[in-house]
Structure 1
Amino acid sequence: MTPEIVVFGSLNMDLVVRVARAPRGGETLQGLSFFTNPGGKGANQAVACARQGARVAMVGCVGEDDFGRTLRNALAADGIDVAHVRAVEGSTGVAVVMVDAEGENRITIVPGANDLLKADPEALAGHYLLLQCEVPMAEVVLAARAMRAKGATVVMNPAPVCQLPDELWSLVDIIVMNEIEASELASLTVTDPASAANAASSIRRRGPSTAIVTLGSQGVLVADDAGCRHFPALEVRVVDTTAAGDTFIGALCAARAAGQSMDAAVLRGIQAATICVTRSGAQSSIPYLHELDAR
């Protein structure tokens, strides 16, 4: 069956260290724990879509190594089509993640095989295309162009933050950003719902019909043809914020692919991200649809 959502993006193995606090420059601290966990913004978002009930295909690259095999098998275990996850010479991408006692993370990425991803039009067929910035931007543009020509809705998560090519702005339907990304792209300082609304309105003028800004504990701001709306966050004790944004985006896309309104999709994204931050790790923290229904 044709997938509802195609994710064109990165796959990384996360190397996670939990610390009481982040070390200062030149300082050595003893960590509290270490574990590995499948990650990468593309793969995380694919998992989040699939666990919310969508049919998902992943397009990406891994190395011919144990990390690559583990990442591919993890996606397949979630029912994701991995026919277009290629194994290439070299190492699989890795992310070194440091998580402090407040649940805040600091991440360093080594792209590895992700830098070799190519946009193959034959691998790009679905109703939604989900994109990020952890793979070559020229290929991101080609993927968006190919899918938009087939009538797909293009969703962009500009993370890690970078300036997007002019052509890509014209191909994106929905853009989902955190406050740092919105600040950079709109050249405005985003600190609260009011400033997020200004940034979202500015960004919509560049092409996307819908601009969404996630604000952590301050909730989510949505700007589209119906106007600007603010959705408050749900209060919860934060353990680890890793993959919270990816979880929000995946849940939102799955809800839209299932025919839900934008507001209902945003609420599902908030619910999913709220559960995510109460757990450690990337893909290990992403909830399933039945967990949201139970709440």
Structure 2
Amino acid sequence: MDVVGFGALNYDRLYNVEKIAAPGEEVAVKEAWESPGGSAANTIFGLARLGFKTGFIGCVGDDNFGRVILDNFSGEGVDISSIKISGGKTGTAISLIDKSGERTLYVYSGANDELSAGDVSLDYVTDAKFLHLTSMVNEKQFELQKQLVEKIEGVKVSFAPGEFYAEKGLDNLKPIIERSYVMFLNRREIEMLTGRDYSEGSREFIDAGVEVVAVTLGKDGCFVSSEKDSYLVNAERRNVVDATGAGDAFACGFLSGLLTSKPLHECGKLGNAAAGGCIEKFGARAGLQDKLKG
């Protein structure tokens, strides 16, 4: 196994609107879209599309949304043997995307909250080269992730905290950060966690033991760094339709570079390429590609 993901499994409902409504205001929906989602899930789906062997740890409900999520994974070749099916409702996420491509997100965690330690096989994780972690709403699953990274030897941890985990603060995330090989953040998240800009903030994570830090900078590309090197990698201009899942796609492209032993700068280019394809389509997965050109 190349990469195992561990994060939320949600069914996404996306609504394209002229603008985000103010309190009491009524705004028409121009277009609606539904798709399986979840941050780590999107990254794992993208890696499978690129031909890597992937699996996932998570939980869905025994309902139509859960079945769609599982079928979507299976259709792309993702191993679903470690995904629990519970009696609860599958998690859902509602995204409102305005004409500039920016979004507002509402999340119902649902069955994601029912994942417990007994549902996670250490053998399944230790068979992988990377464990890719992203945020989950419930504190129990956050604690489970922290416990898991302490138990796995020889597996590189990839961590994309997102804004939800960034709000927990640096001290609460340290058990995962100190075990991480690579971290993925955007400009806002790294400033939230360190109080510094992306360059100085990246150095703080490197000093904490993280081998590689990749910070996405929107239209400006990304800043990638390690102990020895750092690069500002420019992105090609793209027609932004929807920014949903751009960071997840970036992580997919970047990890594909790490898995094939590409240089740091090339990993950044692959991340930019994957994110660029993503934002040109509506939804987090429609623009994911089966080949990337760095």
Same fold flag (TM > 0.5): yes
Given that 1:9 and 1:42 are in contact with CA atoms closer than 8 Å, whether structure 2 keeps it comes out as yes
1:154 matches 2:162: no
Aligned to 1:51: 49
What whole-Å deviation, never above 9, does each CA across 1:129-185 have from its counterpart, x for those lacking one? 1001125211111232233x1x01111001133334332222111111001111111
Deviates more, 1:210-219 or 1:66-75: 210-219
The structure, 1 or 2, with the larger RCO (C-alpha pairs under 8 Å, 6+ apart) is: 1
What whole-Å deviation, never above 9, does each CA across 1:51-101 have from its counterpart, x for those lacking one? 222110111110111000100110011111011111012111100011111
Please report the RMSD computed on the Cα atoms of aligned residues, expressed in angstroms: 1.5
Q: Given residue 39 of structure 1, which amino acid in structure 2 is its aligned partner? A: G
- Runs of 4+ deviating beyond 4 Å: none
Aligned to 1:261: 263
What is the percentage of aligned positions where both structures have the same residue? 25
Aligned to 2:238: 236
Gaps of 5+ in 1: 189-194
The whole-number CA distance in structure 1 between the counterparts of 2:50 and 2:148 is 24
Gaps of 5+ in 2: none
Aligned to 1:127: 129
Given that 1:59 and 1:123 are in contact with CA atoms closer than 8 Å, whether structure 2 keeps it comes out as no
What whole-Å deviation, never above 9, does each CA across 1:244-273 have from its counterpart, x for those lacking one? 110010121122112222222221111111
Equivalence map 1:19-34=2 (5 Å): 19-34=17-32
Aligned to 2:199: 197
The whole-number CA distance in structure 2 between the counterparts of 1:223 and 1:43 is 25
The whole-number CA distance in structure 2 between the counterparts of 1:242 and 1:48 is 14
Equivalence map 1:1-12=2 (5 Å): 3-12=1-10
Count of aligned pairs: 282
Equivalence map 1:168-179=2 (5 Å): 168-179=176-187
Aligned to 2:79: 81
1:167 matches 2:167: no
TM-score by length of 1: 0.91
The whole-number CA distance in structure 2 between the counterparts of 1:207 and 1:10 is 26
> Equivalent residue of 2:82, what SS?
strand
Q: Given residue 190 of structure 2, which amino acid in structure 1 is its aligned partner? A: A
Aligned to 1:213: 215
Aligned to 1:15: 13
Given that 2:159 and 2:177 are in contact with CA atoms closer than 8 Å, whether structure 1 keeps it comes out as no
